[in-house]
Amino acid sequence: MFDTRQLSKTNDFAPHRRPASDVEFDGVFRGLSADVPHISPRWFYDDVGSALFEAITRLPEYYPTRCELEILDAHGKQIGERLGQRTAVIELGSGSAQKIGRLLPHLASVRAYRPIDVSNAALQATSLELVGRFPQLRVDPVHADFSDRDAMHTFLQRAAGTDDAVLFFPGSTLGNFEVDYAAALLEGYAQGLRPGTPLLLGVDLVKPRETLEAAYDDPAGVTAAFNRNMLAHLNRRFNGNFDLAQWRHEARWVPRHRRIEMWLRCDEPQVVQFGEQRIEFAAGAGIHTENSHKWDRPSLHDLAETTGWSLQDWWTDRRGWFAQALLVRQDDQHKADRLTATNTGEHRPN
Ligand SMILES: C[S@@+](CC[C@H](N)C(=O)[O-])C[C@H]1O[C@@H](n2cnc3c(N)ncnc32)[C@H](O)[C@@H]1O
């Protein structure tokens, strides 16, 4: 039996904001009525979406989870040594927290685990499971949006005041954001943390189109159900009436952006009631629901350097399909040197 005193009450940060539903409704409505209709991927994750994502991770075509677990199993000891004496792990988008379970045995000094997720169901279930498996660990689940930069800044600054934390961001979840936005997130995290703080980041790597597209469009239709469930989630949350049967799943590799794009497309015109608003979609219209950017070592090095981090280490699975990148929060001198080098036209060595 685990000791429930190990498990803190779920924390919600940013309580000072306007009621979440107004802000959220405005954001989703703006996205759906934009020239290119789109929805933030965070809306995949209600209880059903979290369960469907777990089913995706077990599909034969969906390699990222297996590759990332392979890396943690093969290199966990070395990763633990490189992370050094940390007292806490903060995980962004913890989901089933399967990966931290592989890493914790190599992080002997860690006393606290702070999973952050928008899915309350995932957060509660996995926190309880971890408390059961690691009796010495204190688990502080945080129900929040890690893309809320102001709230994250406050949260990380507070955490940095009490702990020597490592930030853990697996699952290539950062790749779901537009590259500029991903850069802004990394920069924001760096600003809230002390120099030298490590970030262990899971990133999916560029590979042949067939492998990529199969991973996001499986023949069993699980990814299609996951994609469509987003509309069911919006219906429930915002009093909408999307007819799920009218929307088909699309996944395609877009080499120009080095990303998989997922869309929902309707063949017939649709008029959708969304709260008090109506939204019209022409026949053939699409809603862009997800990007999944793919990286290589040089592009990740550049992303890190320009956002207040340095790429210090890099581990891949045997096939070189996925990587764990160890980034370290730069100190101010490094940033100043970098800025001077940029202004004088020096380039990074290859
Ligand atoms: C791709 S899954 C990865 C799950 C897990 N980290 C893994 O590697 O298997 C993304 C996770 O991040 C959560 N998530 C997505 N967007 C989020 C956001 N903006 N803020 C907090 N959590 C988010 C989802 O609920 C989900 O659990």
Domains and CATH numbers, the chain: 28-58+220-293 (no CATH), 62-207+295-343 (3.40.50.150)
Q: Ligand 1 site: residues with CB under 6 angstroms?
A: 42, 45, 50, 53, 65, 93-95, 99, 116-119, 122, 145-147, 170-171, 173
- Over range 143-150, report the average pLDDT: 92
Q: Which of 77, 146, 133, 83 is nearest to 110 (CA)?
A: 83
Confidence of residue 133 (pLDDT cuts 50, 70, 90): very high
Distance of CA 269 from the midpoint of ligand 1 (Å): 32
Which span out of 153-157, 209-213, 274-278 was modeled with the highest average pLDDT?
209-213
- Residue 23: per-residue pLDDT: 86
Confidence of residue 121 (pLDDT cuts 50, 70, 90): confident
- What is the spatial distance between Cα 288 and Cα 163, in angstroms, rounded to a whole number? 39
Tell me: pLDDT of 5 over 70.
no
Distance of CA 99 from the midpoint of ligand 1 (Å): 12
Query: Tokens standing for 10?
Result: 């779920």
Q: For ligand 1, atom 13, name the residue with the nearest CA.
A: 93
Task: Output the CA torsion 186→191→195→200 (10° steps).
Answer: -20
- Ranges of beta strands (E only) in the chain are 88-92, 112-117, 138-139, 142-143, 165-169, 198-204, 247-254, 259-266, 270-274, 277-281, 286-293, 309-316, 322-329
Distance of CA 343 from the midpoint of ligand 1 (Å): 37
For residue 249, the cross-strand partners are 264
Instruction: Evaluate whether 229 touches 119 at the Cβ level (below 8 Å).
Output: no
- What is the spatial distance between Cα 321 and Cα 316, in angstroms, rounded to a whole number? 7
User: What DSSP element (H or E) covers 191?
Assistant: helix 179-192
CB proximity list for 243: less than 8 A, separation 6 or greater: 270
Query: pTM score, two decimals?
Result: 0.90
